[in-house]
Amino acid sequence: MKIIITEQQANELVTSMLEDMFKGYEVKFEGDHRNIYVNGKLMAQLGPSSGVVSLDAFNELKDNLFFSSDKDLKEEVAKWVRNEFGGKSGIAKYGITFKKLHGEERDIPKKPRKPHHATRQDKLEPGFDLKGFKKRTSDIETRLQNKQDLIRAAREKMNPDSFANWWKREERKELERAEREKQWMKVNKALEVMKNKDK
């Protein structure tokens, strides 16, 4: 069964839970702060325009009530703190942060962070062989480069209009011209010899 509560009912639940947590509190003025103790435990340090509340309050509310965001939870606690303990007159908003104050609080669970695409793998995985990975990557890149070079060379070899093939054709023509000239020289010499004999 789905239970729907109004915003007013949600605020009343927050107020009720905070009142239970701070029941029988004691205020001590220490420096510029009003320190709020409950059963000997420091539960809040309140300054003129902002304050720190024990993580116990955050965890208790977070575990038992639904908030769309931590920001909403902070706003509700800030409202209650200001109404309950008062704040500096004239300030539009009383700032609240949650921290460990008496030392027995449970830490706020950290959200798992997605690794940045540029993050080094050895930072993400202890014991990761970065040098080996770089070498393997380099070998793959070299093989790919060699393969691309072979494909490029084969294409050039098959392309009749490539400079290399044009140069080979020109060299062949030059050799053929030189060979023809040699043949003509031999023929001319043979003709001269025959003429000299006739004389």
Over the stretch 38-82, which tens digit does the pLDDT of each residue have?
998 899 988 887 888 888 888 888 877 776 677 888 888 888 888
Q: Which of 25, 108, 11 has its CA nearest to residue 65?
A: 11
Q: Which of 38, 43, 70 has its CA nearest to residue 55?
A: 43
Cα maximum dimension of the chain:
148
Rounded to whole angstroms, the Cα distance separating 161 from 159 reads 5
- Segment 9-45, tens digit of pLDDT: 767 888 888 888 888 989 898 888 889 999 988 999 8
- Give the helix/strand (H/E) hosting 53: strand 50-54
Whether pLDDT at 116 is above 70: no
Rounded to whole angstroms, the Cα distance separating 38 from 53 reads 12
